[in-house]
Amino acid sequence: APTPAPTPTPAPAPAPTPAPAPLPTAAPTHQNTSRQNPSSTFTVTGDCVKTPDGCVTSANHPGLYGKNQDCAISKAIGKLEVESFFTEQDYDVLVVNGQPYSGTFGPDRVVPTEDIIWRSDSSSQRTGWKICPDSSSVPTTAAPTTAAPTTAAPTPAPTEEPTTTAAPADDDDDEEGDDDDHDEDDDDEGGGDEDGGDDGGDG
Higher pLDDT, 9 or 118: 118
d(CA 107, CA 101): 7
Which of these CATH numbers, 2.60.120.290, 3.90.950.10, 2.60.120.620, 2.40.160.40, describes 44-132? 2.60.120.290
pLDDT one-digit tens code per residue, 38-48: 444 679 999 99
Cβ–Cβ under 8 Å, residues 45 and 115? no
Q: What is the mean pLDDT of residues 61-77?
A: 93
Pairwise pLDDT comparison (16 vs 131), residue with the higher score:
131
pLDDT of residue 8: 67
* Contact call for residues 30 and 141 (beta carbons, < 8 A): no
Q: Which pLDDT value is given to residue 37?
A: 46
- Check if the beta carbon of residue 49 is closer than 8 Å to that of residue 29: no
For residues 43 and 72, give the distance between their C-alpha atoms in angstroms, rounded to a whole number. Answer: 8
Whether residue 199 is predicted with pLDDT greater than 70 in this model: the reply is no
Q: How many CA atoms lie within 13 A of 123 on its CB side?
A: 6
C-alpha dihedral sign at 38, 41, 44, 49: negative
